Structure 1
Amino acid sequence: PNLTDLQDSHSTLQTEHSRTIGNLRDLQDSHLCLQTEHSSTTKNLIDLKDSHINLQIEHSKVTEILKDPIPWNIRGQIAEELDNWKENEKTFIKTNGAKRVLEYIKENRCVFVTASSGCGKTSLVRNVALQMQNEDYEILPVSNRKEIIKWYNPRKNMLFVVDDFCGTYTLNPTQFENWKNLMEALVDRKQSSCLCLVDYRFIRTGKCNICHSFCLVHVISDL
């Protein structure tokens, strides 16, 4: 070939080389775009997974709320009441009586705490209940037996705290028998316990015939 042919061939090769370099740059740019898209897709997938997990958690919470036999507004009232107990707890002086009741409630499903008026049995029982809360018991102050029937949950450790059991100054025998029957049913359930406050005059006058299945603790003025 002559010089002209060589020059033409060289020029053609340069053109092909430039085109090849251009195609390579296009491929590199395309690769970078794909990497960016892949990263974005991966991030979106992670976000979707996180969102799915959060939705599952929220769904579980809602399901638990719907299964909860205690209405949310009542739970709010109970939480506020327990906060008041904790606030009053700051001035409570630990006593042998509180230690005894704590030991008994761990060993028995149902404990009746009796005392004469003014001995501080309410503060004692609340102190014991708060200590049981630290041991993963759900504390539920109740004022009537229907609340225990409605709120009982076999999947939870529950401690029902009954204040002024069957009244403060009078005792209705029928009401007492209904309470006693319910307490006997609780004795057979390992997950639930019950702390009851009973005025000592009911015991002293024989008006309150506590079943032998229950633990009866009488606290005196020095607790």
Structure 2
Amino acid sequence: MFLVGLTGGIASGKSTVARILKEDLGCVVIDADVIAREVVQPGTNGWKKIRQHFGSDVFLPNGELNREKLGQVIFSDAEKRKVLNSITHPEIYKAIAWKVVKNFLLGQHFIILDLPLLFESKKMVPFMSYTVVVNCSEEQQVQRLMARNQYSKEAAEIRIQAQMPLSEKCGLCTRIIDNSKDMKTTYLQTVQLHKELSKSLLYWKVRMLIALCAGSVIGLTIYVVKCIFR
């Protein structure tokens, strides 16, 4: 099994590509955004730490995190954004690791990791066999974000500029899906990516490496046992 990192920018179309891979092409997709919501549910460690550092103002009356309010706070303050990331990222990575192990044991060929901050955090990049960026122009990001979230142009630009530019991410990845045109074009590119991943023999290399490691451990154990009982 090998890992594929899928990323992009806010309103670039990453979620659309992830949905095609999961629902239309049957891939296993681990969505970091979904996990990010799970690790800040009321009563979790993440929830407690956010309340401790950001106060009750970023919570709803029912105790759930007010994501819109928290977003307003962190997108206008880089230091507070770092604090939030330091709270949530370890919990997110831990949950992702468990899901990866589970799917490895189920014999999956590859797994798509939907990671919005793949290149910003850099921690997961070394584990990726492929990295895919869903790209479009910044103006398209602004227009899509304004339409989707009813943001003003200024609010949309603040959120986009708080992230690493898509042009920079495209220079770091191994594959690019251009989402600046129509949906059919994006769909066909995603299907082509799926074909490439399905044909890849990388998963055999990973399994052989694991088999060699397991064999070495077994061999060493047998040797130690023989030495003890001589």
Q: What TM-score results when the alignment is normalised by the length of structure 1?
A: 0.31
Structure showing greater radius of gyration is: 1
Higher relative contact order (CA 8 A, sep 6+): 2
